[in-house]
Amino acid sequence: METQQRSTALPKIRRPSAVSQVLYAIADSVDRPARALPPPAPAARKPFTLAVANDRAQRESAYRLAWRVYRSKGYVSEEGPGLALSKFDAHPSTFTLLVRDLSGADVATATLIFDSDAGLPCDEIYRDELGLLRAQGRRLAEVTRLAIEEKYGNSRELIPLIFNAIYVYARLEQGCTDFVIEVNPRHVGFYRRFLLFEAAGPVRPCQRVGGAPAVLLRLDFEVAVRSFFRPNPAGTSAQNAFAVPMSREEEVRLARHLRVQHRPISEEELRHFCLHERPDCLLKAAR
């Protein structure tokens, strides 16, 4: 998200973030009439690999990547620890995905925070809206700290890859019923059309990203089960951007693979990242 202007000066022209560029590229492909999205690349040619950040080095890589991306957009100050993390990273269930290219370079990251007695980051400004979902017995996971390196801003594969992985993990391994996510208002249309989210809260300023505007969105997994990541009929235009065919068996294998990789943050890591003694020195959870 771009930082909200807080003065009467002429706004600084910013380049769209890599996440924005990916969304626009997907929209451009799908909006062309009578054309479906190209099929996914064969396994042997896939340009990215998925890893769960499960040790100090990988967690630091993910936190540092998110920091670089948010700093470039003005969401965080130049000064600071150089790592985007929060108190929620100390929770044993918090799940951070790290995407790398075939050379091993860090490309993208996203984090899932599962609802607990500690709540979710978006409770800060959407507590009432989340309370209504909880009262209905919904089991929530927040998608947060989604960041993509600038040079991969034209990739149409990254967001499908990321959301496919976190979706099957949250649903099959954690028993979740919904994703919630805070996004910039300009991205609402993309998330609704291509990822099947729906609005769950009004526009509000979010201090965790420098006061930029945010909208709370929700994805009901029952909707996902029916149409998320399913192929479109041959010769038709894609109805959502992520028509990636995956059988139930493939979903189960992927979810189990991610579960085996996941490890709660260790006591040593908690100390290293200041998650015990100095929570005030950390960034609050970012998207």
pLDDT tens digit string along 21-72?
555 554 554 444 333 333 444 444 468 999 999 999 999 999 999 999 888 8
- Tokens 């399913």 belong to which residue? 230
Task: Look at residue 77 and tell me if it is in a domain.
Answer: yes
In the chain, the percentage of residues whose pLDDT exceeds 90 is: 52
Residue 210: per-residue pLDDT: 75
Determine the structural domain holding residue 98 and report its residue range: 18-37+45-281
Closest CA to 80 of 59, 94, 66, 97: 66
Residue scoring higher pLDDT (284 or 273): 273
Single-letter amino acid, residue 75: Y
pLDDT band of residue 73 (cuts 50, 70, 90) is: confident
Q: Please state, in angstroms and rounded to a whole number, the distance separating the CA atoms of residues 78 and 5.
A: 18
Task: Give tens-digit pLDDT for 214-251.
Answer: 999 999 998 877 665 454 444 444 455 445 567 789 88
| Residue 203 clears pLDDT 80, i.e. is over it | yes
Region 15-22 average pLDDT: 57
Q: Are strands 48-52 and 204-206 parallel, antiparallel or unpaired?
A: unpaired
Residue 195 lies in a domain: yes
Does a structural domain hold residue 9? no
**Pairwise pLDDT comparison (3 vs 76), residue with the higher score:** 76
Least trusted range by pLDDT, from 31-45, 78-92, 101-115, 175-189:
31-45
pTM: 0.81
Round to whole Å and give the CA distance between 238 and 194.
9
Picking from 109, 84, 101, 104, the residue whose alpha carbon sits closest to that of residue 18 is 109
In a domain? residue 158:
yes
Higher pLDDT pick, 253 / 194:
253
Quote the number of domains for the chain.
1
1: in domain: no
In a domain, 2, yes or no: no
- Would residue 11 count as lying in a domain? no
For position 24, what pLDDT does the model report? 55
What is the predicted pLDDT for the residue at 247?
Answer: 78
- Lowest mean pLDDT across 63-72, 75-84, 144-153: 75-84
Residue 178 in any domain: the answer is yes
Residue 87 near residue 282, CB atoms below 8 Å: yes
CATH no. for residue 82?
3.40.630.30
Q: What is the mean pLDDT of residues 99-125?
A: 95
